[in-house]
Structure 1
Amino acid sequence: MSNMISAGIMVNVEVFYQPEYSNPLQSEYMFAYRITLENYNSYPVQLLRRKWHIFDSNGLYREVEGEGVVGVQPVLHPGESYQYMSGCNLNTDMGKMKGFYEMENLDTKKKFQVIIPEFEMIAPAKAN
């Protein structure tokens, strides 16, 4: 589990290997991750965009970016949290992800970035 507070937003990440969607013989590894965001600020915020940096153990790097998360742009009032699940496929049994969210202070309309802490994705057989 990884977590970090950045710009008043707590980002907590939990990773789960998905053996039912993986095929190691064909170098296909699927991971799910659950992210919980909590607004520690005194103002409401809206998550507008996300950008991911994804690395596998072969040195392959890719970026994924777009609007919102899982099709929504959630609003978090002070003290509120939002949780979602998503996934990442790799061609190796190990990798890592990190990135950031672009958010907006709904009171001032000022945009800011929230860091998504780096987290590892490791297939259980590799962890032994």
Structure 2
Amino acid sequence: MPSAFAYSAETEGMVVRVQPSYLAAQSDPDANHWVWAYQIEIVNLTTAPLQVVARRWTITDAFGRVEEVRGSGVVGEQPVIQPGDSFAYASGCPLSTPSGSMVGAYFVQDQAGHIFEIAIPHFSLDVPDTRRTLN
């Protein structure tokens, strides 16, 4: 995992850090296909274990087209994150434009069964060395 994350958000003692990166080798601009990877770190700064039970993503391309993605857990897991510990994973996102953005939330459950939402920071997906588009 990268030591410095480009984007970070904190909600109720849970920190979500994101580092996106463009995958030129998996992209084919001539076919309108661009691919990014993103590394996520979820840090539990609370005093209780918390479990990530679901996620919601809003993915927007350079034309303003929006895709909503919802699912159980993250990368096939529903990790329990102990106090002071973290969970890290990597995933990816294809787009039909050379830029876009992602934002979302994780749904986290405490030991009493209460579920609350923690923010995933809004982050930009941009091909390096191109003019940036505000998404």
Give the structure-1-normalised TM-score. Answer: 0.96
Which structure 2 segments of 5+ residues have no match?
1-5
Amino acid at match of 1:120: S
Query: Match for 2:72 among 67, 85, 89?
Result: 67
Q: Which runs of 4+ in 1 moved over 3 A?
A: none
Q: Aligned with 1:20: secondary structure? A: helix
Alignment: residue pair count:
127
Which structure 1 segments of 5+ residues have no match?
none
Percent sequence identity over matched residues? 35
Amino acid at match of 2:90: M
Aligned match of 1:123: 127
What is the RMSD computed on CA atoms of the aligned residues?
A: 1.0
1:127 is displaced (CA, Å) by 4.6
Q: Deviations over 1:57-112 (max 9, x none)?
A: 11111001100111000000100001000000001111000010001012x21110
Say yes or no: does 1:6 pair with 2:7. Answer: no
Give the structure-2-normalised TM-score. Answer: 0.91
Q: Aligned with 1:126: secondary structure? A: coil
Query: Match for 1:99 among 97, 104, 119?
Result: 104
Q: Aligned with 1:62: secondary structure? A: strand
